[in-house]
Structure 1
Amino acid sequence: MAAVGSEHKEVSVRGMQAYRAPSLLQPHRARQALRDAYEGKIGPLLGFYLAFPTVPTARVAAQLGADFVWVDWEHSSCGVETMTSVVHAIQNVSEGRSMAFVRVPGHDHANIGFALDAGASVVVPQVDTVEQAEHVVSATKFGAVRKGSRSAPPARWLAGSSVTIDSSRSIWENVNNQAALIIQIESEIGIKNLDAILTLLGDQIDAVWIGTLDLRVSMGLDGLWGEEPEFQSAIRLYEETLRKHDKPNSGGCFTGNWSLGSNKSFVVVAGDWLGLLGQRDNIQTARENLPASDKRSKNTFAKGNENGTNL
């Protein structure tokens, strides 16, 4: 395990294993990884988006070499047990090379706790106000010093027996320092309130994600991006606020237009649903190249077997 503060020196060889905890059931030192990426000590954290979270797909995603796997619990039908098993699969099958980040469904205190208890970091969607951000931080952190009211899981990590990174601190304070919190700003209201949110809670929020799809929906605009003056004005205010508070930006870059990922410390660049969509071209190519059956050709099957194509 890398020494605290020197993790970035081992990333070129070990990847995110440099930031792993003593146990893969604990969250990685994701807060430090985000800060190191933001400060340019390592490259941006590159992620795989798991839109269809199941244990089998998680096992595959864990072997793709991503720095993190984004588990979309918000827009999937998996329950708490499946989400927990998915997180464990990501971090154990990857042997710590990939961190699990769970986008939770809403701001529910219990759901945020379930994801953190599983050993993941969390992404919380649609944070619009200071009050909502306070609730999210409260659900994320242990102890009033961190503005938290998270309940300690008595059978998850055992105080006094769980191995910790910093032996001078409790397991709860260690986990506070490990698991990252990313909030998603997805409306004009959220952008306008972001300055106040980061002024009050910036020490507990590790990065911000601009959700351009929901932002544009809230503005009555189509698509993920556009050049409309009102949209570009909102983006400029968002970026100016992050610079003011020295806070990492995060987002998606799926199209190969790398400019969308520039100056971001946490970038989702691939996903399972994109892989499925890519098969559309294969199906169309098959339609164009496989003719209708010709009953007069009696040797087709035999020829196929000779070529090893009929299994």
Structure 2
Amino acid sequence: MGDSASSQVVVESGLEYKEVATKGMLAYRAPSLQQPHKARQALRDAHEGKIPPLIGFYLALPTVPIARMAAQLGADFIWVDWEHSPCGVETMTNVVHSIQEVSEGRTMAFVRVPGHDHANIGFALDAGASVVVPQVDTVEQAEHVAAATKFGKAYKGSRSAPPARWLPGLSANTIDPSLSIWESVNKQAALIIQIESEVGVNNLDAMLASVGDNIDAVWIGTLDLRVSLGFDGMWGEEPEFLAVIKRYEDTLRKYDKPNSGGCFNKNWPLMANKSFIPVCGDWLGILSQRELIVNARENLPAAGKRSC
């Protein structure tokens, strides 16, 4: 992670999409691996069809060894689930650094933070990740989390500036020489909000009207949404559920905002309008081993009956 910004060739902002076919997410790499990728631009380019949808690995068990393996798989991003894991700030930070370092900038780190806490959002961003914020239901919550991701009043920001995070001449070089490091990082790190209830869907229009410029994509959390409506499973055909989904999608179209969601069952048609899609994960890999255990129990003979 000690790369010098001067040794890195950064693609000119706005032209990254032209090099994705050969470079992948390296096209959106920041001047230093200690900075977040130009994830805001990547999401916008995927939404506009300039590049394919961003395909990701879901790290449900965030540990450094697993992160270092996952970072070699070639995913566009790794979703670090800090919300539903017991890892602390230090582990989360080391996981993000491992993703950036081992992938050599070929994979972006996105951290789902545990709630709306201002400090936790800052910790994830300081680590060099973009952020996903869960269960955003109201305009006030959207304004709070959007402010927590940005430096300076020009961006309606309340993020605290870390004095020893990016060092001048080393890790503080910017994507544009005319920008300060704070302005540069503001333009790089993405914010995805998760809408996970009917209340959130109903308030999404007002959220995007208020702080949509600082929200880079919206994720519909269908499991939590369905639970809140009294339904089971990740998806269904209930008219009440589908009506809420339609309101959500209509609102995103109104504001021309990237849509995102997970697809872990190869139901690709359902993802047709999404720009940011985790498709696999560590816990799914572990779960797949159950079939081998069952098969072994069914087919291995008892020790006394083996021919070898």
Give me the TM-score of the superposition, normalised by structure 1. Answer: 0.94
1:150 aligns to 2:159 (yes or no): yes
Q: Name the residue aligned to 1:32.
A: 41
1:274 equivalent among 281, 284, 294: 284
2: distance between equivalents of 1:204 and 1:284?
A: 49
- 1:111 matches 2:96: no
Q: Pick one of 36, 55, 67 that aligns with 1:46.
A: 55
Deviation at 1:21, TM superposition (A): 0.4
Residue equivalent to 1:261: 271
Matched residue, 1:80: 89
Structure 1 segments, 4+ long, off by >3 Å, are 158-161
Output one character per residue of 1:220-273: Cα deviation in whole Å (capped at 9) or x when no partner: 111111111110000000000000000000001110111121110001111111
Q: Among residues 103, 106, 131, which one is paired with 1:97 in the alignment?
A: 106
Counterpart of 1:174 (choices 181, 184, 207) is: 184
CA–CA distance in structure 2, aligned partners of residues 6 and 239 of structure 1: 28
One of 238, 242, 260 as aligned partner of 2:252: 242
Residue 77 of structure 2 is aligned to residue 65 of structure 1: no
- Matches of 2:262 and 2:269, distance apart in 1: 11
Cα offset, 1:6, TM superposition:
1.0
Of 135, 140, 160, the match for 1:131: 140
Is the partner of 2:176 in helix, strand or coil? Answer: coil
Contact residue 49 and residue 268 of structure 1 kept, 8 A: yes
Gaps of 5+ in 1: 304-311
- Between structure 1 and structure 2, the one with the greater Rg is 1
Match for residue 252 of structure 1 among 238, 254, 262: 262
Counterpart position of 1:206: 216
Query: Which range moved further: 163-172 or 99-108?
Result: 163-172
Matches within 5 A, 1:188-199: 188-199=198-209
1:56-110 superposed Cα distances (whole Å, 9 cap, x missing partner): 0000110111000000000000000000000000011000110000000000000
State how far apart, in whole Å, the 1-side matches of 2:169 and 2:79 are.
Answer: 31
Distance 1:91 1:82 in 2: 14
Residue identity over aligned pairs, in percent, reads: 75
Do the aligned partners of residues 213 and 55 (structure 1) sit closer, same or farther apart at CA in structure 2, a change above 3 Å counting?
A: same
Count of aligned pairs: 298
Supply the RMSD in Å over aligned alpha carbons: 1.1
Whether 2:226 is the aligned partner of 1:216: answer yes
Kindly indicate whether residue 190 of structure 2 is the aligned counterpart of residue 163 of structure 1. Answer: no
Does the CA-based 8 Å contact 1:159-1:171 persist in structure 2? no
208-217 or 255-264: bigger deviation: 255-264
Contact 1:159 1:170 in 2 (8 A): no
Deviations 1:107-140 (A, max 9, x none): 0000000000000000000000000001101111
**C-alpha deviation, 1:160, in angstroms:** 7.0
Please give the alpha-carbon distance, in whole angstroms, between the structure 2 residues aligned to 1:16 and 1:137. 24
- Partner-residue secondary structure (3-state), 2:261: strand
Name the aligned partner's letter for residue 184 of structure 1. Q
TM-score (norm 2): 0.95
Question: Which amino acid in structure 2 is aligned with residue 14 of structure 1?
Answer: K
CA distance in structure 2 between the aligned counterparts of 1:163 and 1:20, rounded to whole angstroms: 13
Q: Relative contact order, CA 8 A, sep 6+: which one is greater?
A: 2
Shift of 1:159: 5.5
Deviations 1:161-194 (A, max 9, x none): 6211111010000000000000000000000000
Unaligned stretches of 5+ in structure 2?
A: 1-9
Q: 2: CA distance between counterparts of 1:200 and 1:17?
A: 33
Question: What one-letter code is carried by the residue in structure 2 that aligns with 1:158?
Answer: L
Specify the alignment match of 1:5 in structure 2: 14
- Is the Cα contact below 8 Å between 1:19 and 1:29 reproduced in 2? yes
CA distance in 1, matches of 2:111, 2:232: 27
